[in-house]
């Protein structure tokens, strides 16, 4: 955009006499187009009106600001004319005063921003109370006509906000988890960034620890411990289980080496699943959860647990769903689909439609009684759009179904419907229900992310994997998924940030996470009706959390992109 | 170290490693292969030529089941190529393929690219696999690149890695699908030299290429395909100097006078 | 060539089925189907065990059937809904209550989408402004709203801002505008549509077509003569012409509004009202009333009694139409509002007022119910297609204007601010994606600034913008379900009440899921259609 200052500048030349082309100046800054002129008039009016109204409420500040504005504008213009810009005026010229409209806008916005910031400072600090004693806070705030923030409510509830009712004597578990995570993270960053640890045992060990971490943390947070009096029993069983697992590990490795085939690897998988069940069975009864999550977990702790659990647990499911949706497995052949549909149609036409058709009195009722024909329609659509692939059908329906409805309904469904869907008498805690719902919900979104990654893998990668003789399982595990997931890490981080924010919704279904605690504060007798302050504090937490995650993910992305592609 | 598997008896004529009989293939309604019959003997080098879209790639990809043929019979090393997943796996183990676009795995280092299949398919120990991998990388002339990622290599180097990746699996048959088409002229030579060496070492080779020099000097036989059929099958000398078929003459005219 | 072909012992026919690639796939599929069917059967069995006994699926004749599970929809809902587009009473059925909720969701979604798009576009453009302050303010807006949870924002807006607004008598009026922020929510001026609006609407459509035609016609002439004419302006003017014409035609032909008066008042047409009121006042001209009140010769009580006494139905357009004409004529009036027309008529008959305002047809039928209908006459009142109604405080209520209840204001503002931040990023990325080269190429072609935007930048940016925009609209629609947190009666809030009250949880969830899926699918369908269309135009 040509600017008025530029038009001035061109007239000045190198030391030549200053000559001002007013016609051009007006053309470029005022009468460019009728819309522009209108905008300029409105802006001028707004700026004037706002400046005057600010003069009334904040005479001193406004005066200083307007003076500063006048001063810097004239300085910039002068420097422009004489071509003697310093860093400051050059910056001002480029960023604030590049045209008449921008110059006006800058004044308007400076006044508005200063007023807003001042208002906030006034509210948050000058007229605020910081004491944790409610009576003192009342006394302090009573001095002001319009009292400011009552931060005591937040300070007094800091522990509640962080961990809510997590027992004090169990606090060491939290500290332990934090330290453990910190150490693990530091160690991994170091080891994985060093080329000399490639293929080193340390790297495998760390990967193993990472895989075990979710379970361990979980047990720690739940306060899991041996049943009193059965510690020895527990230790013996634990040793037995560990020994069994180690044995199984070598057994399966040998098996796979000796009989490298898909069926054997499937058998080994089954074997491991059986081992897991046996292990749980053996250890059952010897361990007891020391804490009830519905009661003990809350505040930021619960927020983090749910967000992390959802993303971790949704990962395998999401990957499976994505693979399923894209799967090219040979579908159920048309003849089978159509004959099955025909059998159903015939059966229901005979048992259902015949009597209903006879009983129908209107054409509409007669038409409705023909509903079994829908089986054929469904069969046709199924063959047309899914080529008989039930797996793809199921995954697509799951993904689109979940993505089409709001999270809040899914959460309520978990609270209300889980008990109905489970066998009579089987109860599960609300926390588990909500965590399951969050994971099932996240899986649908994760699946779409992963699918995007899968789509970005060129066909040649699949062909090369086939050509070198990898089986399907190896192809996905070694070639396709590592690449697909790597490309969607930023999207997954984005999704995790989304989950972190979305956990607030569980406050509505009655669990007391961060927002739940904030809502409770206003009901405490000490801090009755204090609402804004906890909310502002929460905004700070969420903003910092999301912002830090987003920024570091961007940095990670940049670093990982180097050299590997 | 690898022998014919239990599922297949030794061939009547042991040296016939690829036998194709009346192979037909459709893409939807499009008839891509119209009855290809070809027998390849052990150690033979065969170059397939033909205009674009004539089905060269389709045919060669049928041999290791990257494409399914719908009629006719293909057998490789005595193993019939059908829906039996075990047969497919066997054949893929014995047949190596080099692609026009290299298709290296960008998330793995060169060494990992090369050792991946030996470790996971042949079940070699990592040490042995790396040993063999370095051997082949040296053979194709790039041992010093072993720890780089494919993205850091030139096109010619990448194609040579791809060849090493194929050879480390110790296949008996090599399929090349225009391995030099995506390369700059100076890199083409690097790759052709490697291929030439392999040809003299007794590998059975089936190559689609437009490198006429290579075809003339290295091939035992030249197959000319058009519209999904083999139109001419000839020795290099006859093919280039005295082709039987009109279509071949036209093709050679276009190729050689451009 | 050797005729001896390999003849392996196992031909194609004898592949064992567990190794046959064709069979494995189908077997896996069938196994999957069996698993899913078994799982579903297990779940349904549990559902039956758990709630079947409660009679949730019982038909009228005592048999159990899945179909009868939805019979509860015709039962009376018996709960109140604070705001509704259609008429609703607690005696209406659950089905109607759910419909009210669905319409409320639709209302929030449609308004939210429009406003968020406007806000997002402005903020997105502001992000690219050459003014440092403007672009940074936009950046902070975007960063803040994207990085904090929507629900937290909603709670803050509702509990931390709107509910802390002053009582109605101290309502805040920002910048002295006729917008009132109070505990009742937000009251602001808004249009009131008269029946003749539909006629004017037709003219507006006509005007758009006319403008389109003018534009094309002038464009063709420009191409022929090579001279540029100001075709944008002409197209606009022709639109304005048709619109103005339509305004008067619609107002002139409309004959739906009326008032009922007793013959004794001698009012035969609108002009007579002035005479009637003047006859009760100690002044000879309506313009003198203010001075008379000021110098004390006319007390306010006397003025009130002498004013025209009007009976009207609350929130009815007829009243706005009539009183705004009275106001323009300077005639003082007092309105007595009731909830229904028959109550208003009763008040009128009882003598609480002298004029009953309503549509003519309604008045005529009311008159026929009166004992001595002949003593009353219905007089036509002129109308204009739209009137702007400005809110006023009368006693402890707001009269006129548009009301946003605190709940509705909170959910709407929250959704718009939140989604707007996401849209801003999309718009910015879209505009930036149009490479600089494109812009320069257009400049080199000598296109003007506006031509450049319209012909080069926007179409290309649109292609980048539409897909993510679709998902933002979908998110907005889904996020509107958070209304339950601020007490707005959207679909989910009402469904939840229904669920709790009727106990038909499975059925209610099925209805809600179906409704949201329909909404989501229709939004993505519409935008996909649009996307395909612009993609085609591009070719
Ligand atoms: N996946 C596919 N679906 C449909 N048609 C295909 C597919 N792959 C190849 N074709 C068609 O089959 C014919 C043969 O293709 P093929 O790739 O074998 O040709 P080609 O001889 O290798 O040509 P070129 O020299 O260009 O590589 C072509 O007409 C092509 O359009
Ligand atoms: Mg090809």
Q: Which of A90, A105, A126 is the last residue of a domain?
A: A126
Is B121 within 8 Å of A482 when comparing Cβ atoms? Answer: no
Is A542 within 8 Å of C152 when comparing Cβ atoms? Answer: yes
- Residue B46 gets the label, from left (phi > 0), alpha (psi -120 to 50) or beta, of beta
Find the closest chain C residue to B71 by CA distance: C12
In terms of CATH, what superfamily is C255-389? Periplasmic binding protein-like II (3.40.190.10)
Count Cβ neighbours within 10 Å for each residue of C285-295 and write b for 16 or more, e otherwise. Answer: eeebbeebbee
Give this prediction's pTM: 0.86
How far is A11 from A23, CA to CA, in rounded Å? 13
Range of A253's domain? 170-293
Residues of C in contact with B21 (CB under 8 A): 5
pLDDT in tens, A390-425: 999 999 999 999 999 999 999 999 999 888 888 888
Atom of ligand 1 nearest to the CA of B225: 21
| Contact (Cβ atoms closer than 8 angstroms) between residue A444 and residue A402 | yes
Q: Which residues contact A255 (CB under 8 A, 6 or more apart)?
A: A264, A267, A268
What pLDDT is recorded for position A190?
87
Closest to C203 (Cα-Cα) out of C252, C241, C237: C241
| Phi, psi (rounded to 5 degrees) for A553 | -65, -40
A231 with A302, same domain: the answer is no
What pLDDT is recorded for position B123?
85
Residues of B in contact with C8 (CB under 8 A): 7-9, 75, 78-80
Is C10 within 8 Å of B7 when comparing Cβ atoms? Answer: yes
How far is A512 from C113, CA to CA, in rounded Å? 32
Q: DSSP assignment of C64-85, as one string?
A: B-GGGGGGGGGSB-----S--S
Residues of B in contact with C2 (CB under 8 A): 13, 16, 39
Enumerate the H helices of A350-471 as residue ranges: 354-359, 363-369, 374-386, 390-404, 407-421, 430-455, 459-467
How far is A551 from B198, CA to CA, in rounded Å? 52
ipTM: 0.91
Q: What is the mean pLDDT of chain C?
A: 85
| Contact (Cβ atoms closer than 8 angstroms) between residue C28 and residue B94 | no
List, in sequence order, every residue forming a beta bridge with C191; answer none if it has no partner.
C388
CA B113 to ligand 1 centroid distance, Å: 28
Interface residue of B5, B89, B114, B119 to substitute, partner A, most A CBs within 10 Å: B89
A235 with A190, same domain: the answer is yes
- CA of C89 vs chain A CAs: smallest distance (Å): 26
CB atoms near residue A249 (< 10 Å): 12
Residues of C in contact with B8 (CB under 8 A): 6, 8-10
Instruction: Calculate mean pLDDT across residues C100-105.
Output: 94
**pLDDT tier at C168, thresholds 50, 70, 90:** confident
Atom of ligand 1 nearest to the CA of B67: 1
| Contact (Cβ atoms closer than 8 angstroms) between residue B4 and residue B77 | yes
For the cut 50, the answer to whether the pLDDT of residue C340 exceeds it is: yes
How far is C221 from C293, CA to CA, in rounded Å? 64
Q: Half-sphere exposure (CA, 13 Å, Cβ side) for C439?
A: 13
Residues of chain B with pLDDT under 70: 1-14, 257-258
CB atoms near residue C531 (< 10 Å): 18
Q: Which residues contact C358 (CB under 8 A, 6 or more apart)?
A: C258, C259, C260, C312, C313, C316, C318, C341, C344, C366
Find the closest chain C residue to A416 by CA distance: C505
Q: Half-sphere exposure (CA, 13 Å, Cβ side) for A6?
A: 8
Q: DSSP assignment of C114-164, as one string?
A: HHHHHHHHHHHHHHT-SSHHHHHHHHHHHHHHHSS-HHHHHHIIIIIIGGG
Q: Which residues contact B26 (CB under 8 A, 6 or more apart)?
A: B32, B70
Strand B221-226 versus strand B45-49 pairing type:
parallel
The shortest CB-CB distance from C6 to any of B19, B82, B85 is to: B19
Is C11 within 8 Å of B80 when comparing Cβ atoms? Answer: yes
Residues of A in contact with C236 (CB under 8 A): none
Interface residue of C155, C157, C497 to substitute, partner A, most A CBs within 10 Å: C155
The shortest CB-CB distance from B121 to any of A468, A483, A565 is to: A468
| Contact (Cβ atoms closer than 8 angstroms) between residue B63 and residue B95 | yes
| Phi, psi (rounded to 5 degrees) for B39 | -125, 130
User: Which H helix or E strand runs over B40?
Assistant: strand B30-41
How far is A46 from A114, CA to CA, in rounded Å? 17
A526 with A421, same domain: the answer is yes
What pLDDT is recorded for position A18?
57
- CA of B248 vs chain C CAs: smallest distance (Å): 22
Question: Which residue's alpha carbon is at the smallest distance from atom 5 of ligand 1?
Answer: B27
- CA of A445 vs chain B CAs: smallest distance (Å): 25
**pLDDT tier at C523, thresholds 50, 70, 90:** confident
Output the CA torsion sign for B77, B80, B82, B86. negative
What pLDDT is recorded for position A110?
93
A243 with A317, same domain: the answer is no
How far is A299 from A303, CA to CA, in rounded Å? 6
| C-contacting chains (≥3 CB pairs under 8 Å) | A, B
- CA of B6 vs chain A CAs: smallest distance (Å): 14
What pLDDT is recorded for position C101?
94
Residues of chain A with pLDDT under 70: 1-20, 260, 262, 560-565
How far is C255 from C195, CA to CA, in rounded Å? 9
Residue written as tokens 């505009």? C431
CB of B27 within 6 A of ligand 1: the answer is: yes
A273 with A310, same domain: the answer is no
Say how far residue B41 (Cα) sits from the centre of its chain. Answer: 14
User: Count of domains in chain A?
Assistant: 3
A544 with A408, same domain: the answer is yes
For B41, the 3-state DSSP assignment is strand
- CA of A554 vs chain B CAs: smallest distance (Å): 20
Closest to B157 (Cα-Cα) out of B197, B189, B128: B189
C32 touches chain A (CB under 8 A): yes
| B-contacting chains (≥3 CB pairs under 8 Å) | A, C
- Per domain, the residue ranges of chain C are 17-54, 94-147+405-534, 193-252, 255-389
A552 with A420, same domain: the answer is yes
A288 with A186, same domain: the answer is yes
Q: What is the SS3 assignment for B102-133? A: CCCCCCCCHHHHHHHHHHHCCCCCHHHHHHHH
A302 with A234, same domain: the answer is no
CA B56 to ligand 1 centroid distance, Å: 8
Is C151 within 8 Å of A504 when comparing Cβ atoms? Answer: yes
The shortest CB-CB distance from B84 to any of C2, C7, C15 is to: C15
The shortest CB-CB distance from B89 to any of A471, A479, A564 is to: A471
* Chain A residues near any Cβ of chain B (below 8 Å): 257, 260-262, 458, 460-461, 463-464, 466-471, 474, 478-479, 482-483, 486, 563-565
A538 touches chain C (CB under 8 A): yes
Count Cβ neighbours within 10 Å for each residue of B132-142 and write b for 16 or more, e otherwise. Answer: bbbebbebbeb
For B88, the 3-state DSSP assignment is helix
For A285, the 3-state DSSP assignment is coil
What pLDDT is recorded for position A496?
92
CA B211 to ligand 1 centroid distance, Å: 20
Is A535 within 8 Å of C481 when comparing Cβ atoms? Answer: no
CA B163 to ligand 1 centroid distance, Å: 23
Q: Which of A126, A147, A181 is the last residue of a domain?
A: A126
For B36, the 3-state DSSP assignment is strand
Interface residue of A265, A469, A480 to substitute, partner B, most B CBs within 10 Å: A469
What pLDDT is recorded for position C106?
94
Say how far residue A519 (Cα) sits from the centre of its chain. Answer: 22
What pLDDT is recorded for position A150?
92
Ligand located closest to B53 CA: 1
pLDDT in tens, C2-14: 333 444 444 445 7
The CATH number given to whatever domain includes residue A427 is 1.10.3720.10
Closest to C260 (Cα-Cα) out of C355, C371, C373: C355
How far is A523 from A506, CA to CA, in rounded Å? 19
| Contact (Cβ atoms closer than 8 angstroms) between residue C293 and residue C300 | yes
For the cut 80, the answer to whether the pLDDT of residue C534 exceeds it is: no
> For residue A551, is it within any domain?
yes
Number of continuous H segments (helices) and E segments (strands) in chain B:
9, 10
Q: Which of A244, A277, A293 is the last residue of a domain?
A: A293
Which tokens belong to C290? 């203010």
CA B178 to ligand 2 centroid distance, Å: 7
Q: Which fold has domain C94-147+405-534?
A: MetI-like fold (1.10.3720)
Q: What is the SS3 assignment for A133-202? A: CHHHHHHHHHCCCCCCCECHHHHHCHHHHHHCCCCHHHHHHHHHHHHHHHHHHHHHHHHHHCHHHCCCHH
> For residue A384, is it within any domain?
no
Q: DSSP assignment of A481-502, as one string?
A: HHHHHHHHHHHHHHHHHHHHHH
Residues of B in contact with A563 (CB under 8 A): 149, 151-152
What pLDDT is recorded for position A540?
95
B123 touches chain A (CB under 8 A): yes
Is A464 within 8 Å of B104 when comparing Cβ atoms? Answer: yes
What pLDDT is recorded for position A12?
53
pLDDT in tens, C197-248: 888 899 999 999 988 888 888 888 888 887 777 777 888 888 999 999 998 8
Rg of the Cα trace of chain C? 33
Q: Which residues contact A194 (CB under 8 A, 6 or more apart)?
A: none
For A290, the 3-state DSSP assignment is coil
Is A508 within 8 Å of C22 when comparing Cβ atoms? Answer: no
Q: Which residues contact C187 (CB under 8 A, 6 or more apart)?
A: C171, C179, C180, C391, C398, C401, C402, C403, C404
A85 with A206, same domain: the answer is no
Residues of B in contact with A260 (CB under 8 A): 121, 123
For the cut 80, the answer to whether the pLDDT of residue C129 exceeds it is: yes
CA B53 to ligand 1 centroid distance, Å: 5
CB of B228 within 6 A of ligand 1: the answer is: no
> For residue A339, is it within any domain?
no
Interface residue of B99, B106, B129, B151 to substitute, partner A, most A CBs within 10 Å: B106
A209 with A67, same domain: the answer is no
A208 with A115, same domain: the answer is no
Closest to A238 (Cα-Cα) out of A250, A226, A248: A226
- CA of B18 vs chain A CAs: smallest distance (Å): 17
- CA of C14 vs chain B CAs: smallest distance (Å): 10
Q: What is the DSSP letter of C188?
A: E
B240 touches chain A (CB under 8 A): no
Is A460 within 8 Å of B103 when comparing Cβ atoms? Answer: yes
């Amino acid at each position: 955009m040509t600017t008025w200052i530029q038009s001035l500048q061109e007239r000045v030349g190198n030391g030549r006499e200053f000559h001002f082309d007013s016609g051009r100046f007006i053309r470029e800054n005022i009468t460019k187009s009728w819309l522009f002129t209108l905008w300029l008039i409105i802006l001028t009016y707004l700026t004037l009106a706002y400046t005057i109204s600010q003069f009334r409420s904040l005479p001193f500040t406004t005066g200083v600001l307007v003076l500063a504005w006048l001063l810097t504008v004239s300085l910039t213009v002068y420097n422009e004319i004489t071509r003697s810009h310093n860093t400051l005026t050059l910056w001002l010229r480029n960023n604030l005063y590049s045209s008449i409209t921008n110059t006006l806008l800058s004044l308007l916005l400076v006044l508005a921003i200063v007023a807003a910031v001042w208002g906030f400072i006034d509210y948050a600090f000058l007229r605020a109370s910081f004491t944790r004693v409610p009576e003192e806070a009342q006394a302090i705030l009573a001095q002001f006509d319009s009292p400011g923030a009552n931060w005591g409510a937040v300070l007094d509830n800091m522990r509640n906000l962080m961990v809510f009712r997590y027992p004090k004597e169990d606090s060491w578990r939290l500290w332990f988890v934090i330290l453990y995570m910190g150490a693990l993270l530091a160690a991994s960053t170091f080891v994985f960034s060093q080329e000399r640890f490639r293929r080193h045992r340390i790297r495998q060990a760390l990967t193993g620890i990472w895989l075990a971490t979710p379970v361990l943390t979980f047990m720690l947070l739940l306060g899991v411990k041996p049943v009193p009096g059965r510690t020895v029993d527990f230790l013996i069983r634990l040793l037995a289980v560990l020994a069994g697992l180690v044995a199984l590990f070598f057994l399966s490795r040998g098996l796979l080496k000796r009989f490298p085939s898909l069926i054997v690897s499937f058998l080994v998988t089954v074997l491991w699943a059986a081992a897991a069940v046996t292990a749980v069975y053996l250890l059952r009864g010897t361990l007891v959860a020391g804490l009830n999550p519905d009661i003990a977990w809350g505040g930021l702790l619960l927020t983090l647990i749910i967000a992390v659990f959802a993303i971790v647990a949704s990962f395998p499911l999401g990957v499976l769903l994505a693979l399923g949706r894209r799967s090219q497995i040979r579908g159920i052949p048309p003849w089978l689909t159509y004959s099955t549909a025909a059998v159903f149609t015939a059966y229901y036409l005979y048992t259902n439609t015949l009597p209903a058709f006879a009983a129908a009195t209107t054409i509409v009722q007669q038409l409705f009684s023909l509903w079994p024909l829908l089986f054929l329609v469904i069969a046709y659509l199924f063959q047309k759009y899914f080529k008989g692939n039930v797996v793809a059908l199921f995954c697509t329906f799951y993904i689109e179904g979940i993505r089409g409805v709001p999270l809040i309904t899914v959460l309520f469904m978990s609270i209300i419907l889980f008990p109905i869907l489970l066998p009579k008498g089987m109860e599960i805690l609300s926390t588990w229900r909500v965590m399951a719902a969050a994971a099932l919900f996240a899986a649908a979104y994760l699946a779409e992310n992963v699918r995007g990654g899968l789509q970005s893998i060129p066909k040649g990668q699949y062909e090369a994997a086939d050509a070198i003789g990898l089986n399907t399982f190896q192809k996905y595990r070694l070639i396709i998924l590592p690449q697909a997931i790597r490309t969607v890490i930023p999207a997954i981080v984005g999704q995790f940030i989304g989950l972190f924010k979305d956990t607030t919704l569980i406050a509505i279904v009655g669990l007391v996470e961060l927002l739940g605690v904030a809502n409770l504060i206003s009901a405490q007798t000490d801090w009755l009706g204090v609402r804004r302050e906890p909310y502002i504090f929460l905004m700070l937490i969420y903003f910092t959390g999301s912002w830090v995650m987003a920024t570091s993910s961007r940095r990670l992305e940049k670093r990982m992109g180097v050299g590997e592609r | 170290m690898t022998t014919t598997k239990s599922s297949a008896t030794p061939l009547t004529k042991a040296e016939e490693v690829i036998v194709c009989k009346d192979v037909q293939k459709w893409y939807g309604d499009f008839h891509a292969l119209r009855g290809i019959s070809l027998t390849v003997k052990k150690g033979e080098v065969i170059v397939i030529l033909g205009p674009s879209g004539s089905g060269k790639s389709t045919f060669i990809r049928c041999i290791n089941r990257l494409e399914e043929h719908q009629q006719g019979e293909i057998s490789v090393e005595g193993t019939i190529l059908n829906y039996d997943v075990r047969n497919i796996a066997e054949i893929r183990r014995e047949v190596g393929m080099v692609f026009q676009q290299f298709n290296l795995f960008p998330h793995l280092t060169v060494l990992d690219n090369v050792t991946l299949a030996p470790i996971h398919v042949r079940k070699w120990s990592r040490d042995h696999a790396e040993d063999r991998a370095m051997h082949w990388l040296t053979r194709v002339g790039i041992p010093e690149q072993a720890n780089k990622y494919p993205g850091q290599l030139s096109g010619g180097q990448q194609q040579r890695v791809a060849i090493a990746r194929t050879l480390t699996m110790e296949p008996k048959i090599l399929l090349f699908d225009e391995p030099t088409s995506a390369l700059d002229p100076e890199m083409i030579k690097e790759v052709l030299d490697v291929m030439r060496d392999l040809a003299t070492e007794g590998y059975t080779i089936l190559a689609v290429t437009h490198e006429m020099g290579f075809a003339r000097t290295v091939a035992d036989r030249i197959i000319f395909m058009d519209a999904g059929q083999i139109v001419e099958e000839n020795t290099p000398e006859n093919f280039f100097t005295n082709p039987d078929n009109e279509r071949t003459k036209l093709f050679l005219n276009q190729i050689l006078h451009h | 060539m050797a005729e001896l072909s390999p003849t392996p012992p196992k031909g194609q026919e004898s592949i064992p089925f567990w190794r046959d690639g064709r069979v494995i796939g189908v077997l896996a599929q069938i196994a999957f189907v069996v698993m899913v069917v078994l799982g579903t059967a297990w779940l349904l069995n549990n559902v039956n065990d758990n709630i079947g006994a409660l009679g949730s699926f019982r038909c009228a004749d005592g048999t159990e059937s899945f179909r009868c599970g939805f019979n509860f929809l015709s039962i009376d809902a018996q709960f109140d809904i604070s705001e509704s587009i259609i008429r609703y009473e607690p005696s209406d059925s659950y089905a109607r209550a759910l419909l009210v909720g669905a319409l409320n969701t639709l209302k929030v979604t449609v308004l939210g989408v429009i406003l968020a798009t406007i806000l997002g576009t402005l903020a997105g453009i502001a992000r690219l402004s050459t003014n440092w302050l403007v672009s940074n303010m936009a950046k902070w807006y975007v960063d803040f709203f994207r990085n904090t949870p929507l629900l937290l924002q909603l709670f803050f807006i509702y509990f931390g801002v709107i509910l802390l607004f002053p009582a109605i008598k101290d309502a805040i009026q920002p910048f002295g505008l006729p917008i009132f922020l109070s505990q009742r929510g937000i009251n602001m001026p808004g249009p009131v549509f008269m029946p003749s609006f539909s006629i004017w609407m037709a003219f507006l459509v006509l005007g758009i077509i006319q403008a389109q035609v003018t534009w094309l016609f002038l464009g063709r002439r420009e191409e022929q003569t090579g001279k540029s004419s100001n075709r944008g302006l002409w197209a606009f003017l022709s639109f304005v012409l048709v619109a103005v014409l339509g305004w008067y035609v619609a107002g002139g032909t409309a004959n739906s509004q009326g008032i009922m008066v007793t013959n004794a008042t001698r009012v035969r047409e609108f002009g007579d009202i002035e005479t009637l009121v003047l006859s009760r006042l100690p002044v000879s001209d309506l313009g003198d009333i203010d001075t008379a009140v000021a110098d004390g010769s006319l007390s306010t009580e006397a003025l009130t009694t002498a004013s025209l006494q009007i009976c009207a139905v609350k929130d009815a357009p007829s009243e706005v139409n009539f009183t705004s004409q009275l106001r323009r004529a300077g005639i003082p009036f007092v309105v007595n509002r009731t909830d229904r027309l028959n109550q208003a008529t009763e008040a009128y008959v009882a003598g609480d007022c002298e004029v009953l305002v309503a549509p003519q047809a309604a008045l005529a039928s009311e008159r026929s119910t009166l004992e001595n209908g002949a003593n009353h006459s219905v007089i036509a009142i002129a109308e204009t297609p739209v009137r702007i109604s400005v809110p006023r405080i009368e006693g402890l209520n707001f009269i006129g204007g548009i009301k946003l209840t605190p709940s509705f204001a909170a959910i709407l503002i929250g959704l718009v601010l939140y989604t707007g931040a996401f849209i801003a990023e999309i718009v910015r990325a879209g505009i930036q994606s149009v490479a600089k080269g494109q812009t320069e190429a257009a400049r080199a072609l000598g296109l003007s600034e506006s031509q450049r935007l319209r012909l080069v930048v926007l179409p290309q940016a649109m292609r980048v913008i539409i897909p993510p925009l679709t998902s933002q609209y979908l998110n907005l629609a889904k996020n509107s379900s958070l209304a339950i947190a601020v007490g707005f009666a959207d679909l989910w809030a009402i469904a939840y009440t229904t669920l709790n009250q009727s106990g038909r949880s499975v059925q209610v969830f099925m209805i809600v899921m179906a409704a949201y899926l329909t909404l989501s699918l229709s939004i993505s369908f519409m935008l996909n259609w649009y996307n395909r269309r612009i993609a085609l135009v591009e070719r």
